Structure 1
Amino acid sequence: MRYVHIDNVEPGEHLGRTIFSGNGAVLLSDGVQLTVYMINTLNRIGVTMIYIKDPLFEDIEIIDIVSEETKRAVMQRMGQTFDSIRSGKDFNTRNINGSIDSLLDEIMKNKDVLVQLSDIRTKDNEMYVHALNVSMMSALIGIQMEMPMNQLRELVIGAMLHDIGKVELITDDTSEDLKKHHTWRGFELLKNKRELSLLIAHVAFQHHEKMNGSGLPREMQGDQIHLYARIVAVANTYDNLLFDLSLGRRMMPHEACEHMMVLAGEELDREIVIQFLRTISVYPTGTSVRLSSKETGVVVGQHRGLPGRPVVRVVKSESGTDLEVVEVDLAKHTTVFIDSVLQ
């Protein structure tokens, strides 16, 4: 399959990966033949990139760190929790706790797989997919840092709920501090939950703080920011760079990784960024690229130790002339580089 911009999808092509709604239900199933109506609908609900099937790359397998079944279960439970908050009701954190163990179990089993954030986002599911992505990346950073399981669990719950303050809440509280920033609201929602560690509330409170003291809401700096919050800040920043249009334009993974290196030591914890970059697929499988040899192809394989040097299946030259299909392993062809990413 190939990862392509929605504007480049043609009617009659087949969807390569299932698209979910906000509550975890299937919106469009893997393999469905796309119609003009479906493509226009995906465009309307905010989908920009999708996977499509391609006979030249039908053997390409996207290896997920977490299964679709577990992702669906997590999103459903998050939906139930957030619905309670929106209606002003007390929310039951057991809904979240119940999905953390299966999530962590799968991440531990697949900890050597490079992360590529391949779930398709819509306006309806973006909050849930974002929370899921930040949780997965935070867990992998924690594993890289050899955190014990009890700390990993706290970290993942904190990552899952880091944006809970963004959920609409009916309240009579007129405190200016609560209105100032969703971090305050998240902290207030979580701090009195006895079944949760107070450190989880501090993740919601501190994940927009920056190492140089320029962050929100209290301009904390360095080690004043709890380790969990510093980890979640790194994962949150990366996911936002890829998908949050409010930051300007959406970056490709290789651009986001370069930007993260610029932020390291200033806004983000340098050591955590280093650990993070060891877990990320810089050029995700299915991405179309142009090589320095002027040939174009699709990324079909990864190297754990060399995320910036994937295996590329070359399918045509710069002029568009068909070539014999050849796989170029950039870890072995050291004089060939990825010149640009194509959408």
Structure 2
Amino acid sequence: MRYVSIDHVEPGQYLGKTIYSANGTVLLGAGVQLTVYMISTLNRIGVTMLYIQDPMFEDVETDDMLSEATKQGMIQAMNSTFEAIRSGKDWNTQMIGSSVDSLLTDVMSNKEVLVQLTDIRTKDNGQYIHAINVCLLSSVMGINMGLNYQQLKELATGALLHDIGKTGMREEDLLIPDLKGHHTWRGYEKLKSRREFSLLIAHVALQHHERVDGLGLPRGLAGDEIHLYAKIVSAADTYERLVHPLPPQAKKLLPHEACEEMMAMSEKQLDHEVLLQFNRIVSVYPNGTAVRLSNKQTGVVVRQHRGLPGRPVIRIVQGEASRFDVKELDLAKETTVFIEAVLS
């Protein structure tokens, strides 16, 4: 598979990864042959990047930590929860708990894999994909930091529901500096009333926009006043917002650019120790990404090295259709070659 801009997708190519609707149903399944109408529709609903199948890279997988069943179930659980809240109905905490258990089972079975955020988002499913990605990143960091299963479940649940306070709010309300109306307070109020949840889960929603330098919202907490769970979720949320900004027309950073930006936030917005853990678990050049190297060759990332996220294996294809020359360059061994740019 290759990861390409939708502007470069052509009719007749085959979709590499399934795209889900906001309610968890399959919008387009992996393997479907794309038509002009499909590409136009995907563009209209906000899809900007796609995985497509490519014979030269048919063995390249995205190394997803989560199974398709887990992802689909989590989107359905999030959609059901948020729709119930919007309509003023009771919501099913058991469904959320089961989703978190499924995620943790998958993560603990694949904890040697670097996290690659590869799900295709649309205008409708974006908030759910964001929540799942924040949950995934937070959970992997939590495992690396030695949290036990009960702590991991609290962390993952708080991460999945960190933005629950935004539900039912208008976009313009999110910009109003009324702290008691801030989505963090609203989320805290929604979660603290659920006896099935630990109060720490509610505090993740309340504290995930606090900063370690004391300049955050809503209470201006600093340093150790901020719970570890919230510090972890803050790092995951920050990364997700840098690579998938809201609104969509805001500047979008590539994964390696987002990691560099976050390191500049160390001990200001983000906790330094949490940042160190974050940089150990995230893939800055996901599989399928086209890159240009410092030796001016171009290729596609095909494999990762745990512990060396910036030094993946690159497949370089040269020549014409009848006589291709294919070679792989392992940047962990070729120490004088660097990735110079990411190509769309």
What range is the shorter-chain TM-score in?
over 0.9
For 1:116 and 1:264, locate their aligned partners in 2 and report how far apart those are by CA, in whole Å: 22
Task: Note the alpha carbon deviations across 1:93-120, whole angstroms, 9 max, x for none.
Answer: 1110122112111101101100110000
CA shift for structure 1 position 92: 2.2
Residues 337, 323 of structure 1: CA spacing in aligned structure 2 closer, same or farther, 3 A cutoff? Answer: farther
2:202 maps to 1:197: no
- Contact 1:86–1:169 at 8 Å: present in 2 too? no
Counterparts of 1:120-159 in structure 2, within 5 Å, are 120-159=120-159
CA shift for structure 1 position 265: 1.5
CA shift for structure 1 position 90: 2.2
For 2:6 and 2:217, locate their aligned partners in 1 and report how far apart those are by CA, in whole Å: 35
Task: Note the alpha carbon deviations across 1:223-279, whole angstroms, 9 max, x for none.
Answer: 111111000000000111110143831111111111111111211000001001100
Query: What does residue 64 of structure 1 align with?
Result: 64
- Contact 1:21–1:125 at 8 Å: present in 2 too? yes
Query: What does residue 109 of structure 2 align with?
Result: 109
Secondary structure of the structure 2 residue equivalent to 1:263: coil
For 1:160 and 1:282, locate their aligned partners in 2 and report how far apart those are by CA, in whole Å: 22
Residues 242, 144 of structure 1: CA spacing in aligned structure 2 closer, same or farther, 3 A cutoff? Answer: same
Query: What does residue 254 of structure 2 align with?
Result: 252
Query: What does residue 28 of structure 1 align with?
Result: 28
- Contact 1:296–1:316 at 8 Å: present in 2 too? no
The equivalent position to 1:313 in structure 2, one of 315, 321, 327, is 315
What TM-score, normalized to structure 2?
0.94
For 2:204 and 2:303, locate their aligned partners in 1 and report how far apart those are by CA, in whole Å: 35
Counterparts of 1:316-335 in structure 2, within 5 Å, are 316=318, 324-335=325-336
Q: Percent of pairs identical after alignment?
A: 61
Secondary structure of the structure 2 residue equivalent to 1:325: strand
Which amino acid is 2:31 matched to? G
For 1:246 and 1:53, locate their aligned partners in 2 and report how far apart those are by CA, in whole Å: 29
- Contact 1:85–1:169 at 8 Å: present in 2 too? no
Task: Note the alpha carbon deviations across 1:305-325, whole angstroms, 9 max, x for none.
Answer: 2110000001249xxxx8611
For 1:142 and 1:177, locate their aligned partners in 2 and report how far apart those are by CA, in whole Å: 29
The equivalent position to 1:277 in structure 2, one of 258, 279, 302, is 279
CA shift for structure 1 position 177: 4.2
CA shift for structure 1 position 53: 0.6
Secondary structure of the structure 2 residue equivalent to 1:112: coil
Which amino acid is 1:64 matched to? D
- Contact 1:87–1:169 at 8 Å: present in 2 too? no
Query: What does residue 161 of structure 2 align with?
Result: 161
Residue segments in structure 1 that go unaligned for 5+ positions in a row: 171-175
For 1:215 and 1:47, locate their aligned partners in 2 and report how far apart those are by CA, in whole Å: 32
2:297 maps to 1:300: no
For 1:178 and 1:217, locate their aligned partners in 2 and report how far apart those are by CA, in whole Å: 8
For 1:136 and 1:263, locate their aligned partners in 2 and report how far apart those are by CA, in whole Å: 21
CA shift for structure 1 position 166: 0.8
CA shift for structure 1 position 11: 1.0
What TM-score, normalized to structure 1?
0.95
CA shift for structure 1 position 16: 0.5
Which amino acid is 1:198 matched to? L
Q: How many residues in Structure 1 have an aligned counterpart in Structure 2?
A: 337
For 1:178 and 1:44, locate their aligned partners in 2 and report how far apart those are by CA, in whole Å: 36
Aligned-pair RMSD on alpha carbons? 1.9
Query: What does residue 37 of structure 2 align with?
Result: 37
The equivalent position to 1:262 in structure 2, one of 254, 261, 264, is 264
Residues 148, 55 of structure 1: CA spacing in aligned structure 2 closer, same or farther, 3 A cutoff? Answer: same
- Contact 1:298–1:313 at 8 Å: present in 2 too? yes
For 1:243 and 1:169, locate their aligned partners in 2 and report how far apart those are by CA, in whole Å: 20
CA shift for structure 1 position 192: 1.1
For 2:299 and 2:179, locate their aligned partners in 1 and report how far apart those are by CA, in whole Å: 52
For 2:217 and 2:247, locate their aligned partners in 1 and report how far apart those are by CA, in whole Å: 17
Query: What does residue 217 of structure 1 align with?
Result: 218
Query: What does residue 79 of structure 2 align with?
Result: 79
Residue segments in structure 2 that go unaligned for 5+ positions in a row: 171-177
Query: What does residue 173 of structure 1 align with?
Result: none
Query: What does residue 182 of structure 1 align with?
Result: 183
For 2:152 and 2:108, locate their aligned partners in 1 and report how far apart those are by CA, in whole Å: 11
Which amino acid is 1:72 matched to? Q
Deviation >3 Å, runs of 4+: none
